[in-house]
């Protein structure tokens, strides 16, 4: 998940920025490339366009934006963490991508107004307490007639089959941990409304779903994410450390069974146009 903007303590990034989260961001860029490509096609990003990926993480959709805009375009990745920007620059170098990377605060970007034709974020808004501020900045740096797009999760369809109480309990505790921090893990369902409130027109919304099986990277995503935010979950007081460990072990065994499938959180995509 993308790093949030720098800011007050309440906007601390719940999953942290350790090696496990770095690896997750690398996988996210690859696994969800198909969904992002569909979004770029639907939003109509053109060759030669100027594009920005806000909260890009270690790669985000920067590589896909470079493919879309071609050598005549410009692609900028923005993240608040310098070490993340360093990883992103190295990843871009290895891929031969002509992209720029900037360390900046998504709630107060130093980029000029009207600079870009297309501005995007993915799994960023769920990690901030004031997503409206981020969207305001995204709209500001978009030129009149340009497009702002976002991709954010929603746990409504996050289930496994066969069902298991450990899955449901850990999922609910994760969502509650975000809420306790003043953040909305289910912000995806609100994206269309948020974009309209930010002043965009012609807003369109498409939810996408992904099913996993044992061996797929995201099969154990719930375990990985609850592990990263374990301390915040325990701080909620509804689970003891022992209960958390037991539930995690039970779920790990269940997810490894040959017939267990998961439906990952819905990834809601929304985009709209800045009025001329």
User: pLDDT tens-digit profile of 90-100?
Assistant: 999 999 999 99
- What per-residue confidence (pLDDT) applies to 20? 65
- Quick check: pTM over 0.85? yes
Whether 52 is covered by a domain: the verdict is: yes
Whether 56 is covered by a domain: the verdict is: yes
CATH number at residue 177: 3.40.50.150
User: pLDDT tens-digit profile of 178-214?
Assistant: 999 999 999 999 999 999 999 999 999 999 999 999 9
- Measured at the CA of 226, the angle between CA 37 and CA 155, to 5 degrees, comes to 50
Q: Average pLDDT of 52-73?
A: 95
Residue with token string 């923005």: 78
- What per-residue confidence (pLDDT) applies to 3? 47
Structural domain that includes position 100: 9-273
For residues 247 and 238, give the distance between their C-alpha atoms in angstroms, rounded to a whole number.
Answer: 13
Q: Average pLDDT of 140-145?
A: 98
**Cα 52 to chain center, whole Å?**
15
Number of domains in the chain: 1
User: pLDDT tens-digit profile of 145-157?
Assistant: 999 999 999 999 9
Q: Average pLDDT of 132-136?
A: 98
Task: Give yes or no for a contact between 162 and 101, defined as CB atoms under 8 angstroms apart.
Answer: no
**Which helix (H) or strand (E) segment is 126 a member of?**
none
Q: How many CB atoms lie within 10 A of CB 163?
A: 10
Whether 4 is covered by a domain: the verdict is: no
Q: In terms of Cα–Cα distance, which of 117, 105, 99, 82 is closest to 29?
A: 99
Among the residue ranges 16-30, 84-98, 162-176, the one predicted with the least confidence is 16-30
Whether 2 is covered by a domain: the verdict is: no
3-state secondary structure of 199: coil
């Amino acid at each position: 998940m993308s790093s949030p903007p720098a800011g007050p303590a309440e906007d601390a990034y719940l999953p942290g920025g350790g090696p496990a989260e770095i690896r997750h961001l690398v996988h996210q860029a690859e696994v969800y490339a198909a969904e992002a490509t569909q979004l770029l096609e639907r939003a109509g990003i053109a060759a030669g366009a100027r594009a920005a990926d806000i909260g890009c993480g270690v790669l985000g959709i920067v590589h896909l934006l470079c493919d879309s805009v071609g050598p005549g375009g410009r692609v900028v990745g923005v993240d608040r963490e310098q070490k993340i920007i360093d990883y992103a620059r190295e990843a871009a170098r290895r891929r031969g991508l002509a992209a720029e990377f900037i360390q900046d605060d998504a709630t107060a970007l130093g980029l000029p107004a009207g600079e870009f034709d297309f501005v995007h974020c993915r799994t960023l808004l769920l990690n901030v307490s004031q997503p409206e501020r981020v969207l305001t900045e995204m709209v500001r740096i978009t030129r009149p007639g340009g497009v702002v797009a976002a991709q954010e999760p929603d746990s409504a369809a996050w289930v496994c089959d066969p069902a298991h109480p450990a899955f449901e309990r850990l999922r609910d505790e994760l969502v509650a941990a975000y809420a306790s921090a003043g953040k909305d893990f289910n912000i995806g369902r609100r994206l269309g409304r948020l974009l309209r409130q930010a002043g965009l027109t012609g807003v369109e919304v498409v939810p996408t779903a992904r099913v996993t099986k044992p061996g797929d990277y995201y099969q154990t995503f719930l375990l990985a994410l609850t592990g990263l935010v374990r301390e915040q979950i325990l701080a909620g007081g509804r689970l003891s450390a022992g209960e958390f460990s037991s539930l995690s072990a039970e779920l790990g065994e269940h997810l490894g069974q040959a017939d267990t499938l998961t439906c990952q959180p819905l990834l809601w995509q929304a985009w709209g146009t800045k009025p001329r």
